[in-house]
Structure 1
């Protein structure tokens, strides 16, 4: 416990004046101790354990398999999507087999979703940015298979509520995930073959609309509001911040891709508005 400031303030006040001066010095010293403690707290960065990272990794693929199963029989397309996520994380060998096994466990009809997510949320210690990234990964996987089916949407709602998010927040995440998928496709098309035969650039208005949705603001927002939204999204998805909270190193590439998309959306809006 810090008391150095209080002691020095008390003695200095007593020496310079009287008991009133001593009490005033004590108060000044107390304020100093609080500021020092906060400064030390902000500089402290907790290092997550490997067990916490492994739990995040396992739960990600298990829940992904569980949501895929909600649509009925897991299709070859859904299996391919899970494999693409493993490719994005550059998973090879034993770690890839672990991801595949987690996906299979999630597909099992007896998979205890409630129990697993309650334990997972507790292990994340209520860090909402980390839980949000987990949910966003599930949404990306669900949208990659096409429009959501009714059972998938219900299962995603169940997952969101178990993680501590409301139905309204889920609808926001769904809109942003859909915009992210669309925006990413526009980016791929724009960079893949502009000179290719038969290539038609995506409608600029649709791409711009996706950019606003990706930042979580309306196109009617002021420049200052858009700037704040951009900074907020970058803060929520900063790879170093998520790593310190428990994001596995295997998923760092996905976190970096997310911040790149946020940056691209911001650059597009800046260009359209003439923001410097």
Structure 2
């Protein structure tokens, strides 16, 4: 069967367009971001599968500045104990998960930021009157999360005789505190404020109002990813300058009456 030159040209054009569509990297590309799924106000997975929180807003803003549409952002759950491993093995591109910048962690991963400053505090039941300062935790049942800097700080510097229980998530700590299995819960005030503001806990918890440590949250990237870190720093700087940072803080912490620090200066970690 003879094929005309025009017909052959049309066929080649169709095949070319098909190949281009199949290999369109813009359509297929995605970025994977590690966040917490159990921190109301910071990183939280709602019952309908959507995500909310200040860290989520920061993660999305950064992704946008890196050239990704919202639908191209994939969130992966991380815990305090596995953030370094997920970065080292390339399971996530970056981590935005109340990730305090410490020298120990900087030996394993790099950080952009900081983008937020929190302070370690205590969450107690509203009727609790015996815990007024850190030393009052000695002999008390205290909860924090495995791998968090908060637990280490309490045992080493604040209340060495506290009965410390380290659970897998802050949600587990909150439930145990509500059910009186524990006397207090400790972590960063931003996280605690998120739990106190949750509808199911409103009026049941209160922050003691201590300043047990200062935690500078950074965005974790794989060691040596200097170009990505620089782009994230630029995105964070823009987020503060254009007002998106302040808007996100107000949206997620305003209802808890939480007094936050101003946006920190980038440290170039």
Structure-1-length-normalised TM-score: 0.28
Task: Name the structure where strand makes up a greater proportion of residues.
Answer: 2
Superposition TM-score, scaled by structure 2 size: 0.28
Higher gyration radius (CA): 1
Q: Could you say which structure has the greater relative contact order, defined with CA pairs below 8 angstroms and 6 or more residues apart?
A: 2
